[in-house]
């Protein structure tokens, strides 16, 4: 079907919940996609930080092909061996504990939220407050949304339970003022993604840890975007050395398939009792077979080393670019989770994004002044150079 017809069908039948680009993909290899227009696209987007292993990854394809031959679904009522193996691997690389598998980042955060409330109530009945950050993003379900500190996402869907308190990100004093004996948990992204890639400082996470310990609150990290090797370490918090009590993963976890996970430390293994929480599809055999293969790759030292190296290449290229455009005020992020921030009003990054797309590069624009750059972690030096050349020309055409 033609692009025009398909777009029309979308417009006629699918809720318009997000911006819509009239393009789809018919193939891809590494960090390069092939569009329905038969053009090649260097991918600085990864389907929003999901396709960490890019396209046509041989080991993932093999795991998926083998899993396809077995039953695709059985329910968590039965054992799903790859689910347990995946949890064991996640815990081996973080800390001993227990995991719960869901289908998305929002659902993983719902599990973490319910867990925090249940555990808070075990200590005192009014220990149900959650402290979260302004500009955070934890997902679109009502629970995850109630912890998302962005009025533009919340306001149309209010009211919320009213137990969330929002503090400025990286502001130690505000955090200290907000956390008290009624706090069940502090929810933070070690690197905020959706806000435009803002890195939590070590001092901030240390303060959060100290306050949670002092008030017997849980420190929960949302690693949905910054986890799974995206920052050059398996988990984003590892850059700071400040471990949480629990954390959520999704996005890259399934190598492109939908899966989310909440893990809490061993000390909390009995908080969830049978019947407290479940998901029909969560952690099913097909998705966990593929996710296990993906996570094995993410956790290899050689893989992480390569993410660091490509992150340095990309960052160096973006810094060079920034020096050429006075309107570009900052390059920030970690590993392959980067952003170029322009002085608001100087350059429309929506326009840059479209110009990039026309020239064969996929990139994300946030708040119309930030470019978020989150390529597959398998991106090559040559693909980075090609993408950077397109980006430079697109900015030139847009200023």
Ligand X SMILES: Cc1ncc(COP(=O)(O)O)c(C=O)c1O
Chain position carrying tokens 């990309």? 314
- Peptide bond between residue 159 and the one before it cis (omega within 30 degrees of 0): yes
Angle at 85 between CA 80 and CA 87, to 5 degrees: 100
- Pick 103 or 380: Cβ nearer ligand X: 103
Token digits of residue 25: 């993909």
Q: Which residue is nearest to ligand X (CB)?
A: 105
Q: In angstroms, give the least distance from the CB of 222 to ligand X.
A: 5
For residues 341 and 330, is the Cβ–Cβ distance under 8 A? yes
Residue 331 bridge partners (DSSP)? 340
Q: In angstroms, give the least distance from the CB of 2 to ligand X.
A: 30
Q: In angstroms, give the least distance from the CB of 3 to ligand X.
A: 26
- Pick 224 or 371: Cβ nearer ligand X: 224
- Pick 261 or 328: Cβ nearer ligand X: 261
Q: How far apart are CA 376 and CA 54, in angstroms?
A: 5
Token digits of residue 137: 């993003």
Q: In angstroms, give the least distance from the CB of 202 to ligand X.
A: 19
Give the SS3 label for residue 92.
helix
- Pick 109 or 240: Cβ nearer ligand X: 109
Q: How far apart are CA 117 and CA 110, in angstroms?
A: 11
Q: How far apart are CA 386 and CA 288, in angstroms?
A: 34
Question: Distances in Å between the alpha carbon of 259 and those of 18, 188, 230, 251, 348?
Answer: 21, 20, 16, 7, 34
- Pick 230 or 369: Cβ nearer ligand X: 230
- Pick 286 or 328: Cβ nearer ligand X: 286
Token digits of residue 91: 């815990």
Q: How far apart are CA 262 and CA 98, in angstroms?
A: 8
- Pick 30 or 105: Cβ nearer ligand X: 105
Q: In angstroms, give the least distance from the CB of 258 to ligand X.
A: 7
Q: In angstroms, give the least distance from the CB of 109 to ligand X.
A: 6
- Pick 103 or 349: Cβ nearer ligand X: 103
Q: In angstroms, give the least distance from the CB of 205 to ligand X.
A: 15
Token digits of residue 199: 């890195």
Q: Which residues bind ligand X (CB under 6 A)?
A: 48, 104-106, 109, 137-139, 189, 193-194, 222, 224-225, 250
Q: Compute the CA torsion angle 237, 238, 243, 246 (nearest 10 deg).
A: 60
Q: In angstroms, give the least distance from the CB of 168 to ligand X.
A: 18
- Pick 35 or 187: Cβ nearer ligand X: 187
Q: In angstroms, give the least distance from the CB of 215 to ligand X.
A: 24
Residue 221 bridge partners (DSSP)? 188, 247
Chain position carrying tokens 């009213």? 162
Q: How far apart are CA 388 and CA 392, in angstroms?
A: 6
């Amino acid at each position: 079907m033609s692009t025009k017809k398909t777009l029309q069908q979308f417009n006629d039948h699918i809720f318009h919940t997000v911006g819509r680009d009239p393009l789809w993909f018919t193939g891809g290899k590494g960090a390069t996609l092939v569009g329905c227009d038969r053009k090649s696209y260097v991918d600085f987007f990864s389907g929003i930080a999901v396709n960490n292993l890019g396209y046509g990854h041989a080991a993932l394809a093999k795991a998926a092909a083998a899993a396809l031959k077995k039953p695709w679904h059985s329910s968590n009522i039965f054992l799903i061996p790859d689910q347990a193996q995946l949890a064991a691997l996640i815990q081996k690389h973080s800390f001993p504990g227990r995991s719960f598998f869901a289908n998305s980042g929002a659902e993983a955060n719902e599990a973490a939220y319910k867990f925090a409330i249940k555990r808070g109530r075990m200590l005192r009945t009014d220990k149900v407050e959650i402290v979260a950050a302004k500009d955070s993003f934890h997902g679109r379900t009502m629970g995850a949304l109630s912890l998302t500190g962005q009025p533009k996402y919340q306001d149309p869907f209010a009211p919320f339970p009213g137990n969330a308190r929002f503090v400025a990100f990286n502001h130690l004093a505000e955090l200290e003022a907000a956390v008290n004996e009624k706090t069940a948990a502090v929810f933070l992204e070690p690197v905020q993604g959706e806000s435009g890639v803002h890195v939590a400082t070590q001092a901030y996470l240390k303060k959060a840890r100290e306050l949670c310990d002092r008030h017997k609150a849980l420190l929960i990290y949302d690693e949905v975007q910054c986890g799974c090797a995206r920052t050059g370490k398996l988990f984003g918090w590892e850059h700071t050395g400040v471990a949480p009590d629990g954390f959520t993963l999704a996005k890259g976890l399934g190598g492109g398939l939908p899966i989310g996970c909440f893990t809490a430390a061993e000390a909390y293994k009995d908080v969830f009792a049978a019947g407290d929480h479940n998901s029909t599809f969560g952690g099913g055999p097909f998705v966990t077979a593929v996710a296990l293969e993906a996570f094995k790759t993410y956790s290899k030292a050689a893989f992480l080393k390569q993410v660091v190296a490509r992150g340095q290449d990309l960052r160096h290229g973006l810094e060079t670019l920034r020096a050429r455009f006075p309107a570009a005020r900052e390059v920030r992020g970690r590993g392959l989770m980067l952003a170029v921030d322009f002085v608001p009003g100087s350059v429309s990054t929506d326009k840059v994004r479209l110009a990039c797309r026309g020239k064969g590069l996929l990139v994300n624009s946030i708040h119309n002044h930030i470019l978020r750059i989150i390529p597959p972690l398998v991106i090559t030096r040559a693909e980075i150079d090609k993408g950077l050349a397109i980006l430079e020309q697109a900015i030139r055409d847009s200023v």
